[in-house]
Amino acid sequence: MPLFRRRRATESTSAEQTARREVEALTASRRVIVDAYEVERRRIQRDLHDGTQQYLVAAAMKLGEAQLSPAVAADPALAALLGEAKGAVQAGLDALRVTVRGIHPQVLGDLGLEAAVRDAAVASPSDVRVVCPHRLPDMPEGVLAAAYFFTAEALTNAAKHAPGAPVTVLLAADAALTVSVVDAGPGGARLVKGHGLAGMRERLAAFGGSLELAAPPGGPTQVVARIPLLLAHGEPGVVVGAP
Question: Is the distance from CB of 120 to CB of 155 less than 8 angstroms?
Answer: yes
Question: DSSP class of residue 169?
Answer: E
Question: Is the distance from CB of 132 to CB of 172 less than 8 angstroms?
Answer: yes
User: What domains can be seen in the chain, in order of their start residue?
Assistant: 106-228 (3.30.565.10)
Taking the CA of residue 45 as centre, how many other CA atoms within 13 Å lie in the half-sphere pointing to its CB? 14
10 Å Cβ neighbour count for 13? 10
pLDDT of the residue at 34? 60
Measured distance CA(200)–CA(209) in Å, rounded: 10
Question: DSSP class of residue 104?
Answer: S
Per-residue pLDDT of the chain (243 residues; tens, 9 = 90+): 565 555 555 555 665 656 555 545 555 555 666 665 666 666 666 777 677 888 888 888 888 888 888 887 888 888 888 888 888 988 888 887 767 666 667 788 788 999 999 999 999 999 999 999 999 988 888 888 889 989 999 999 999 999 999 999 999 998 789 999 999 999 988 888 767 788 888 888 877 889 999 999 999 999 999 998 865 544 544 444 444
Measured distance CA(117)–CA(139) in Å, rounded: 15
10 Å Cβ neighbour count for 63? 18
Question: DSSP class of residue 52?
Answer: I
pTM higher than 0.75? no
